[in-house]
Structures are given as structure tokens and as C-alpha cells.
Structure 1
Amino acid sequence: MKTDTTVVEHDQVCLVSTAEEAAALPSLSIALVSHDGAQPPSLTPLRPRVTGNLSAVRATDDVVVCYSERPAADVMHLYRTLGRDMPAVLVAAREFDAQDVVAAFDHGATSYLVLSQTPEVCLVGAAITTARGESCLSPVAATALLRHVLRAPFAASTEPLSSGDLTPRERQIMELLVTGHTVLEIAEHFTLTSKTVRNNLSTIYAKLQVRRQSEAILMWLGYQPQSA
């Protein structure tokens, strides 16, 4: 089964060391949210637009990099203001905080790197991957998410999931999602943009009354959250 998540280990490091390599990088619109104006040097070849103002983030950006002490708060703000139009988000956290990881993904983050665990030079590859609609995670972030999902009170459903509220296209997207296809692969299958697929997924999550991909997949496979 394919997966749309890359766990970034320490040996997965690629440096952009020559002008030729920099020129070969894709042209992306990147908003780098940094409240103190700091910029990871490794991102320089991608020419990000550095801003401390979240209102400067555009729906047309390919990816937003949240580079701050408490990045989940920035993701929450973007989620509240942009909703379905929020671009793919790469969190570049300076320190690890398990609750911050969960909160960021609950509000639409796509990738999460912890820079005290994963070298900053991994940011270029992670930004490009995130812009494609795929996820990159530092191992500690992946562990935090896994533990959160395993603690979620899911139980086997006594009745099959009613997908009547989903459109035929939304059902097709879910079928591809549960078989391990990435957002990019789903977009290519239907000749759509990755942003359109993410918008469809946001609508699906709302209809299924879940907040993230893992919960939607569990429900689609016949599980539902227990009542509190």
C-alpha cells in the first residue's frame, strides 16, 4: 500500500550546493510566516516571501511554512480565516511539543518538522513535497500523531457507514484514499489540482463529522467514534 506521509530521518538530507541545483528547483509561491523575521537559510533557494503578518498569506500560495515558537496557533488562525482556501501548510517547529503537533494537524497542517530533531536542510525537500499535497513528518511528530490516533475512542460500527451525503466524486476520492493513494495521485487520477482535492477532503470531513484524514479512513472502513 502506498502512503502519502514521509518520515524524515536524519540521513535523508539533500543540500542545494550549486547554482545549477538551485535553478532546477520548482518555482513555488511560498509564504514563510516568521514573527521575529528569522528565515531558515536552507529555504533561501526557494525564495520564500517572509512575513510576520498572517493576513499576508494568500490562498494562491503553493505552501505556507510556519516557522515560529508556537506554530499551531498560526495554523489555527489560517484555518479560521481561509478555511477551505488555506494552502498546504508545512510547520517548521523549533522545539517539539506533542500537543502542538496534534493541534496543527487538527486545523489542517499538511507536514510537521521538528527542527531540533530534523536538520533545517530538510526544509527544501519538505516544502516541495508539501506543495504537492503530501506529508512530511519528523519521527517525533509521527509518533505523537500515532499515539493520539491510538488513544481516540473508536469502536466497530453496528451499522454500515451511510455515505449518502457524499457526492459520487467524493465517494470515489474516499475509495482511493483508503487504498493508500496520495492527494497528488488522486488529483492526477481525476485531472484536478491538489488544492481542489484538499477542498473536497475538507467537505468530506465536515460531512462525516471528523477532523482529519485518519478518522475519515477509520469511519469509511466501518468504525465510528464512541459517544462521550
Structure 2
Amino acid sequence: MRTARVVYKGAIQAAYPHTEDEIRLASGQIVNEQDVEWLPPVEPRTVFTLGLNYADHAAELSFAAPTEPLVFLKGKNTFIGHNGETRRASDVTFMHYECELAVVIGKSGKKIKKEDAYDYVAGYTVANDYALRDYLENYYRPNLRVKNRDTCTPIGPWFVSKDEVKDPMNLSLKTYINGEVKQEGTTGDMVFGIPELIENISSYMTLNEGDLILTGTPKGSVDTKVGDVVVTEVEGVGRLVNTIVGDDQFNR
């Protein structure tokens, strides 16, 4: 099952795939995907984000792969939907995308064993977790100004139930800037896979329904500029489109 959340004529509705350019609303109406405002496909609760969870990405930053998951939290203010606009502040000199598989937790649990981890997964979506490197003090623990800016985490378009994703640890990831491939990788290269992440996080706190785990990004992150159209794609999950805009679009 694939579902989305959109705004159409002032009302929030569930939406479903129809054709390449059209979606079907819960009301039964068929509309062009450009005629709606896309919301995040799930309403995030606690959001866990992984740092350096791909060895090749750690290496391109001149770091060794971590020996335990490097987890930090992300605020709800950062999330926007498919076809949304992300602000690049005028004082930023390096702002890069991060194509990530996002895991949606389906039920509460604590001290979950990795063998049982997928029992707690509802499904998946695509996330683009922008980072503003100007403010990076420590790659191991990014501060708020790097990872918690408003509009800097597009997510979607679809929530895809876990039964539609045969092997989430064997999916290709790609990022395109203005149609050109800039990043390629596979979830199989994660340092800590989904079961290990769920076991680790739940060992010290409860995971709840609606929580998200953003599982990290492979190598290939490059700077983006105002006007760039950035597409992050996870095989079998979705193709998320986002545009970089400047301060003038936010009237300040």
C-alpha cells in the first residue's frame, strides 16, 4: 500500500498513486500531482537521524566508520513535503543534500531484539536531510544550526507499507541535481542496518508508533545553489522532488 497526505482546495486528504502524473484523492477525484500541496506522508513524532552510517560517506569526510550508532534528534519544524521549497540562507556557503531511507515505526516497543525489529516497522519513505556545513562543529554530533533548519528536510512523497519492500537492506539510492546524477549508493552499505538501529535505540528509550529513523546517506554529497531542483530517489519507495530557494522567497 502507498499513501500520501496532500492539501487540495484547502482540505487535507489522503492520496494514492494513479498514473505517472496524477493521483487519486480519498474522495475519488483524480487530480494532477502539481495541483496539490504535498505534506509529509506521515506526521512525525520523535525523529532519529543517523550520522556517518555509510562507511563511504564517513571516508569522504576523512572519518573512520563509527563503532556504535551516532544518533541525534530532528525537530518537526524541519519537515516539508514533495515538490516543496527549501530555504538556503544567504549567509550559507555549503549546503548539501542527503538521500536517505526513512523507517516509519508502527508500534511501541522497548528493548527490541534485532531479530524482531521488523515486527515494529510500519513502512518506509524517502527523506532528503540537508546539512548546512558552515555551522558544523563536530561531524559526530551535528548541532541544531546544521540539521534543524525550517524546511530543510523534505520527505515523501509516499508512505510505503513494509509488505511492498521485499528487502529494505538492498535498495539503490540516487540523487539528481537538475537532472544530473550526483550521488549513488545502496542501503546494503549501511554500517548499522535497520534491525541493529532499532535494537540500539530501543535499548535505552521507547520507540513509539509514528517515530521515524533516518538511516543515513552514502557518499556523493555536493553543494547546492538557489534554483537547483534536487531529486532524491530510493528504489521501490519513491522519488522526492525539492527546489532550493533564497531568502527573498521567505520575505526576509
Higher relative contact order (CA 8 A, sep 6+): 2
Higher strand share: 2
Fold match by TM threshold 0.5 = no
Between Structure 1 and Structure 2, the one with more helix by share is 1
